[in-house]
Chain A
Amino acid sequence: MNENIVNFIYLIAGVLFILGIKGLTKPKTAVRGNMLSALGMLIAVVVTLLNMNTVDYTFIVAGVVVGSVVGSVMALRIQMTSMPQMVALLNGFGGGASLTIALAEYYTKLGTTPASFAELLNPVVADSSAFGAGPEGTVALVAIGLTVLIGALTLTGSLVAFAKLQELMKKSYGLPGGPIGNALFLIAALVAVALVVVEPGNVAAMGTVVALALLLGLFLVMPIGGADMPVVIALLNSYSGIAAALAGFILGNTVLIIAGSLVGTSGLILTRIMCVAMNRSLANVLFGKMAAGGETIDADEVYAGKVTSAQPDEVAMLLETAQRVVIVPGYGMAMAQAQHAVRELADAMEAKGVEVEYGIHPVAGRMPGHMNVLLAEAEVPYDKLVEMDRINPTFEDTDVVIVIGANDVTNPMARDVEGSPIYGMPILNVDKAKTVVVIKRSLSPGFAGLPNPLFAMDHTLMVYGDGKKAVVEMTTALNQA
């Protein structure tokens, strides 16, 4: 097939990807956008297959079959609460694909591959002319080295993120020296990349890049805690896109560059949104601890004798007479699988003429938009899900706020107590409502490790226990009232 035709069809695929993302700007056009994007993928793959000359289909068919089965089982079986894990895995696979493509291209251009593992690191005689004439050869080598680096660290970093989200890995480990240790690893990996560029036949240097990058991915993500995961997932999402775009430079493939850069920017923008919502810099999330600053706040002093608890049926009486109720969900709602129960409570309230909305903090949950997907699964209309900036001014006119499974994002210390570790983080001002009901297992602190003065306020009622059970009991009591 003529190369120009192939590239023209790649261009069409690229345009379809762009239209696909454009579709995602509105819930109504989103499904169609996703399909356009999938169509773009299909034609890009078909034209690639048609354009291949001497082909051994064995490995292609095997890979496509295995990948399709694994991909569809994952996609159809996964629970909406586990979506962060799914995305973490997909990020990792994207990085792994770019890594293996770059390595395959490296060995193809070298024209020789090791016959055994013992030969894996034996140097080969080659110079950059094998990778392209003049500067093109050098650029191709740089692209290969960087793709291997970013692909490998995205792979292991994402697998650690998955393990943390799945709670397979509960503790946080890190390199001694923290950021400095990581920086040294990164510099060593970049030096190895430079070595490959200078001496393309130095297979051992390439092996070193792979090994260092795989380790770097582990060390970067292992110290990071659960509530910072939205940032990590978004960042790894970006890396997988950048790796794909770099792979495009290796192969001189336009559609890889277009698609990769779209994904790369998407991840970066989401990363930024998450950081702003936590009032922390990216470096602070990746390398820092929550500042231990200020005097330590004694939880007993905050709570002692001031916390009022209530039973679900007492709350139901409050809800019955309310005019406006705002529900504020957090990761605890996902943990308790309480999204359907919450929707039923909202239905019961609406049946009694109560106006119900949901206040969604950008970092509620474990990934951007996590709460929205859960509530959409429970068939809550998306126009009831209100962003922080729009819901905050309404709390003063709200009779009851029900906080379920959220903690730090409602902590008034972030607004009022200068010197508090979370000071400056934008929060949902739930304490401005007439009554706040907090459904929580205990008074234990959230991810920031701070007591929440909200719980001790005069107009706050604590409902202790399992989120789902408490909500179901409220619904039952409300329906009987």
Chain B
Amino acid sequence: MDILILLLALFVLSLFLGVELITKVPPTLHTPLMSGTNAVSGITLVGALLAAGNDGSLMMVNILGFIAVTLATINVVGGYLVTNRMLAMFKRK
């Protein structure tokens, strides 16, 4: 049970940190915030890699993993690129 309690602690503390951080983001940047957090939620790519890289004894797991890698990569690549595109427009001045 030790590891679970640690993970739970991490989860709860991250929630509080999230509230502190996000409330400081000005409304003018709320759209880039959303696309940026989309990119961050692409961190599921880490889990997807583990599934897709399964040694091949379970074909269905590989296929599910492939779908997961594809979707998560779209989030990571698409999310960071489009956020960068938007933020560059704000920075110009």
Give A contacts to B, CB under 8 Å. Answer: 13, 17-18, 20-22, 24-28, 30-31, 34-35, 37-38, 41, 44-45, 48-49, 52, 54-60, 62-64, 66-68, 70-72, 74-76, 78, 80, 83, 86-87, 90-91, 93-94, 96-98, 100-101, 103-105, 107-108, 111-114, 134-136, 139, 233-234, 237, 240-241, 243-245, 247-267, 269-270, 273, 360, 362, 367-370, 372-373, 376-377, 379, 381-383, 385, 387
CB distance B53 to A90 under 8 Å? no
9 smallest CB-CB distances across A and B, nearest first, come from: A67-B73, A63-B69, A265-B18, A369-B30, A71-B77, A71-B78, A75-B81, A368-B30, A104-B51
B33, B34, B67: the one within 8 Å of A96 (CB): B67
A31–B91 CA distance with the chains assembled, in angstroms: 8
14 contacts between A and B (CB under 8 A): A21-B37, A34-B84, A55-B55, A63-B70, A68-B77, A71-B79, A90-B35, A93-B75, A104-B51, A237-B38, A260-B41, A262-B17, A383-B93, A385-B28
B48 pairs with A63, CB closer than 8 A: yes
Known contacts A30-B29, A107-B60; is-contact A63 B46 (Cβ 8 Å): no
B47 near A256 with CB under 8 A, answer yes
Per the bound structure, the CA–CA distance linking A154 and B14 in Å amounts to 22
Partner of B74, one of A28, A74, A78, A134: A74
How many B residues face the partner with a CB closer than 8 A? Answer: 83
Taking the nearest CB of chain B, how far is it from the CB of A92, in angstroms? 9
B50 and A251 contact, CB distance less than 8 A? yes
Query: A30-B91, A67-B72, A369-B33 given as contacts; is B81 within 8 A of A72 (CB)?
Result: yes
Residues of B that sit less than 8 Å from A by CB:
1, 3-4, 7, 10-11, 14-15, 17-19, 21-56, 58-93
A266 x B22 contact (CB < 8 A): yes
Known contacts A75-B85, A97-B45, A381-B93; is-contact A372 B30 (Cβ 8 Å): yes
Given contacts A24-B25, A34-B83, A381-B93, contact A368 B31 (CB under 8 A): yes
How many Å lie between the Cα of A70 and that of B35 in the bound state?
Answer: 16
A97 touches B71 (CB 8 A): yes
* Given contact pairs A30-B91, A369-B31, A67 touches B49 in the complex (Cβ within 8 A): no
Cβ–Cβ contact A266 & B33, under 8 A: yes
- Smallest CB-CB separation from B77: which chain A residue? A71
Q: Are A30 and B90 closer than 8 Å at their CB atoms?
A: yes
From A34, A104, A241, name the one whose CB has the most chain B CB atoms within 10 angstroms: A104
Q: Which residues of A contact B41 (CB under 8 A)?
A: 94, 240-241, 244, 259-260, 263
Whether B89 and A377, one on each chain, are in contact in the complex, defined by CB atoms closer than 8 angstroms, is yes
Write out the residue numbers on chain B whose beta carbons fall within 8 Å of the beta carbon of A68.
Answer: 73, 77
Chain B, Cβ-Cβ closest to A17: B40
Contact between A37 and B40 (Cβ–Cβ < 8 Å)?
yes
